């Protein structure tokens, strides 16, 4: 009964939040969307010429997300390019730059997957930067709203007890283009990722922001991936990536309170020990 009442409370909160959304959250406005992207492009990538991608990078996300607080995103990359970093932008989110993914020498930059929050109907952009100074951009439109203010799905005390715990799962079939010997893994991080916009349905006060800022992954001391994140990652973030195994996989996570969580996974088995 308690679980059912909690589920009903969450559903009611989502309905109320949707009623408070501005009209722009539910309708596409091409002129406004184009102006928004030009502003973001100038702010985030000033001085760089972004070339429309033709296979260098692809962006996948549901056309209409079932859960705006847990939107799956897949970035597929051309591994023949000397890729340096990928930037994921959700134009109409309060903090549009979801994350910057920087590749290290142990990375196999063929595909990245994660889960994000989406606040309003919006264009999304993914930008790939190469080591030789080329920039490529791809976009898609997604219908989702209310994800940034959606209540947490876990009890706050339980979330704190599990804070910073990690699991690593090896993906049986890696993405196309991954070389022989490469490993594709999914990293799961237990963290509520409060962004300061969620309201406690009991106290009617906003939960203070506390979200993941940085994730650093290395294999045998060689950098695989560094993620610089902001408030748009989902609760309990997940990150799927491919790498050349060179030893134990070490992960360090830092959140916005400067709390740091570290774990070293000794094996590459399905349980990630």
Residue 220 lies in a domain: yes
pLDDT tier for residue 259 given thresholds of 50, 70 and 90: very high
The residue among 95 and 159 whose pLDDT is bigger is 95
**Residue 155 confidence (pLDDT):** 80
CA atoms within a 13 Å half-sphere pointing along the CA-CB vector of 72: 6
Domain that holds residue 51: 2-265
Q: What pLDDT sits at residue 26?
A: 52
CA distance linking residue 60 with residue 203, whole number of Å: 38
**Residue 18 — pLDDT band, cuts 50, 70, 90?**
very low
Q: Is 273 within the bounds of a domain?
A: no
Residue 270 has pLDDT above 70, yes or no: no
Residue 15 above 70 pLDDT?
no
Q: Of residues 221 and 10, which shows the higher confidence score?
A: 221
Does some domain include residue 137? yes
The total number of structural domains that make up the chain? 1
Q: What confidence category does residue 159 fall into, taking pLDDT thresholds of 50, 70 and 90?
A: confident
pLDDT (tens digit per residue) in 77-112: 998 999 999 999 999 999 999 999 999 999 999 999
Task: Collect all residues with Cβ–Cβ distance below 8 Å to 179 and sequence separation of at least 6.
Answer: 108
Helices (H), the chain: 2-19, 30-45, 156-161
Q: Is residue 130 part of a domain?
A: yes
Lowest mean pLDDT among 7-16, 151-160, 249-258: 7-16
Q: What pLDDT does residue 176 have? A: 87
pLDDT at 14: 34
Segment 249-253 mean pLDDT: 98
Query: Is 131 inside any structural domain?
Result: yes
Mean pLDDT of the chain: 88
* pLDDT at residue 7 greater than cutoff 80: no
202 is a domain residue: yes
Q: Has residue 137 got a pLDDT over 90?
A: yes
Domain membership of residue 93 (yes or no) is yes
Given pLDDT bands bounded at 50, 70 and 90, which one contains residue 27?
low
**Contact, 36 vs 92, CB < 8 A?**
yes
pLDDT digits (tens, 9 = 90+) for 37-53: 999 999 999 999 999 99
Q: Is residue 46 part of a domain?
A: yes
Residues 21-35 have a mean pLDDT of: 70
pLDDT tens profile 204-241 = 889 899 999 999 999 999 999 999 999 999 999 999 99
Task: Give yes or no for a contact between 217 and 224, defined as CB atoms under 8 angstroms apart.
Answer: yes
Can you tell me the distance from the alpha carbon of 105 to that of 196, in angstroms, rounded to the nearest whole number?
A: 36
Region of poorest pLDDT, from 17-21, 84-88, 162-166, 248-252: 17-21
CATH number for position 136: 2.60.40.2470
With tokens 């070490």, the residue in question is 250
Q: What would the mean pLDDT of 46-64 be, rounded to a whole number?
A: 97
Inter-residue contact 82 to 211 (CB < 8 Å): no
For range 237-254, the mean pLDDT: 97
Specify the pTM: 0.87
């Amino acid at each position: 009964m308690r679980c059912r009442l909690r589920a009903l409370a969450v559903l009611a909160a989502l309905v109320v939040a949707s009623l408070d959304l501005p009209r722009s959250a539910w309708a596409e406005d091409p002129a406004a969307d184009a102006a928004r992207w030009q502003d973001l492009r100038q702010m985030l990538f000033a001085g760089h010429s972004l070339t429309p991608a033709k296979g260098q990078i692809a962006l996948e996300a549901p056309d209409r997300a079932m859960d705006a607080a847990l939107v799956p995103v897949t970035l597929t990359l051309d591994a023949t390019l000397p890729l340096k970093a990928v930037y994921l932008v959700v134009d109409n989110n309060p903090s549009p730059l979801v994350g910057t993914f920087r590749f290290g020498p142990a990375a196999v930059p063929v595909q990245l997957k994660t889960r994000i929050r989406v606040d309003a109907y919006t264009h999304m952009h993914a930008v790939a930067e190469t080591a030789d100074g080329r920039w490529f951009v791809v976009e898609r439109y997604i219908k989702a709203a209310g994800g940034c203010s959606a209540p947490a799905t876990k009890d706050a005390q339980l979330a704190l007890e599990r804070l910073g715990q990690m699991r690593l799962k090896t993906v049986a079939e890696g993405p196309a283009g991954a070389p022989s010997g490469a490993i594709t893994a999914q990293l799961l991080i237990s963290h509520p990722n409060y962004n300061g916009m969620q309201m406690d349905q009991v106290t009617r006060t906003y939960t203070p922001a506390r979200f993941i800022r940085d994730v650093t992954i290395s294999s045998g001391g060689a950098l695989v991936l560094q993620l610089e994140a902001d408030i748009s990652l989902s609760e309990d973030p997940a990150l799927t990536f491919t790498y050349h195994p060179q030893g134990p996989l070490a992960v360090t996570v830092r959140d916005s309170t400067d709390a740091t969580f570290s774990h070293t996974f000794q094996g590459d088995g399905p349980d990630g020990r």
